[in-house]
A = this chain, B = another copy of it.
Amino acid sequence: MCGIFGVYGHREAANITYLGLHALQHRGQESAGIVSSDGERLFTLRKMGLVQAGFGSSEIEQLPGAAAIGHVRYSTAGGSHIKNAQPFAVDYQGGAVAVAHNGNLTNHEPLRRRLEEQGSIFQSNSDTEVIVHLIAKSRGATLAERVIEALKQVEGAYSLLFMEPRGILAVRDPMGIRPLCLGVLPAGSSPDGSSQPPLAGEGERRSYVVASEPAAFELIGATPLRDIEPGEVVQIDESGMTSSRPFAAAARRMCLFEYVYFARPDSALEGASVYQVRKLCGKKLIEEHPVEGANADDCVVLPVPDSGVPAAIGLAQQARLPYEMGLIRSHYVGRTFIEPSQSIRHFGVKLKLAPNRVALQGKRVIVVDDSIVRGTTSRKLVGMLRGAGAREVHVRISSPPTKWPCFYGIDTPTRSELIASSHSVEEIRRYLTADSLGYLSLDGLAAAVREAESAAGTANGQPGHCHACFSGDYPVAIASDERHHHLRVV
């Protein structure tokens, strides 16, 4: 998974982008990059690690101009290397272009083979390089024409930001599998809220911002306008913002897992509040899988922090059971943690989560998480809760069993590693050593999203989502070698 951000028409474009990426940091911690434009040239900086670690004031100064795009990249198994960091920037016959990509192309291997046969060279493992080659080979007169021609050849999930010296292009794939949102920022505004007199030529124009999630707008003081529509191409340059729909219509299929886990709770995607969806999932989960005889005196609800918190709140409210902090999360466990010796490997979850005995002792415990992948962490947690005195441990998962790998940009393990692909719920319960285990049904999850849309008055009668990881129903066909290849790396 990745996060992308862009801004056009703001004198502090690189700063704004830095802040936008900071707000999207949860979507990728492996690398961060910003490309800015001063109207004539592009300036590129990419770093491994967090955006706040790599982009200090001296770095931002190397990124002049009033437009910028940025990218944060998730750590994937094999490909952690600066050459895969984005935005990807090249020179070609049309000049300079940079691209930031969230998603995954399902036909990138056949495309890459075809391009190699035509004499193309590849410097990264990323499917984004394929898109750039297609743009360079296009005969289109403008970047927009080239991009459209290129994207007509690709399949899969993509939310994309392109930058050339004179403008930005934002594109969302025809099914809208990955989110992408548009916002606006008054020109001359400063991200801290103060306003400054407009620069000569800055006029009354507004600055447009684009981000994977609207939560990125809050921090910079921007106002969310709307989601970019599936299949929409938005062009932002000195003549303002224009929109087109060059691709054939397709049913919308935004990723349900964004609601379950990936997006920030304070984002709203396609009109539905992520927080509200999660709370409703918790509510429906305990309706579907009640805990027999649970009462407020001997039974507590606790989240696996932080991803399980909203569902646990919803579940506790629905069940009228006390919500408790039964697991304490360390704020000091990050990706740079070094386990110092052989004998203390595999500390994993113990370093991150600690049991809070006083909340657990003698209790029947309902522990709420968003999903189970391999099951190993959940099993350790159940043991930890029992070790801290829980009388019973009931595991409730606020999404359906994750049985299928994602080919659209989430770095899930291969099928064989997903415990739910080969084990029944009862088998998983036994493996976890839980007293009971309940997953939310796919219908329940879909209903939660619908209700949250209704609550916001945004229900659009197009309830379609991608739920391939739960159902195996892949909305975009997977090239056969992709299917094979992507079982390991996404």
Contact = CB atoms under 8 A, between A and B. Distances in A.
Interface of A: 12, 14-15, 18-19, 22-23, 25-26, 29, 50, 52-53, 55-57, 59-60, 82, 89-93, 113, 116-123, 132-133, 136-138, 190-192, 194, 215, 218-219, 264-266, 268, 273, 275-276, 306, 309-310, 313, 316-317, 322-325, 328, 330-334, 336-341, 343-347, 350-351, 354-359, 456
Given A344-B19, A351-B219, A119 B133 contact: yes
A334 B120 CA distance: 40
A23 B350 CA distance: 10
A137 B12 CA distance: 42
B266 A219 contact: no
Given A266-B354, A266-B355, A323-B313, A332 B119 contact: no
Nearest to A309: B325
A121 B90 contact: yes
B344 A191 contact: yes
Nearest to A278: B325
Number of copies: 4
Given A19-B344, A345-B192, A215 B354 contact: yes
A116 B90 contact: no
Given A55-B340, A266-B355, A276-B358, 8 more contacts: A12-B343, A19-B344, A19-B347, A92-B116, A266-B328, A266-B358, A316-B323, A331-B331
A93 B119 contact: yes
Contacts of A359: 275
A53 B50 CA distance: 15
A317 to B, nearest CB: 6
A52 B337 contact: yes
Chain A contact surface mostly:
mixed
A333 B149 CA distance: 41
Contacts of A331: 26, 306, 331
Given A90-B123, A122-B90, A354-B266, A341 B60 contact: yes
A171 to B, nearest CB: 19
A332 B273 contact: no
Contacts of A90: 121-123
A121 B22 CA distance: 30
A192 to B, nearest CB: 5
A268 B358 contact: yes
A215 B309 CA distance: 22
A12 B12 CA distance: 36
A340 B92 contact: no
A340 B57 contact: yes
A52 B334 CA distance: 9
A143 to B, nearest CB: 13
Contacts of A52: 332-334, 336-338
A138 B347 CA distance: 44
**What 3 pairs across the A-B complex have the smallest Cβ distances?**
A119-B137, A273-B358, A93-B116
A190 B347 CA distance: 11
Contacts of A219: 347, 350-351, 354
Given A323-B313, A343-B191, A266 B25 contact: no
A266 B120 CA distance: 43
B340 A192 contact: no
Given A215-B354, A325-B275, A57 B343 contact: no
A345 to B, nearest CB: 7
Given A332-B22, A358-B276, A341 B57 contact: yes
B132 A56 contact: no
A22 B356 CA distance: 17
Nearest to A342: B57
Contact of A313 (B53, B123, B265, B325): B325
Contacts of A194: 343
Contacts of A55: 338, 340
A341 B16 CA distance: 10
Contacts of A91: 116, 121-123
A427 to B, nearest CB: 25
Nearest to A50: B332
Contact of A15 (B56, B332, B340, B356): B340
Nearest to A58: B340
Nearest to A82: B82
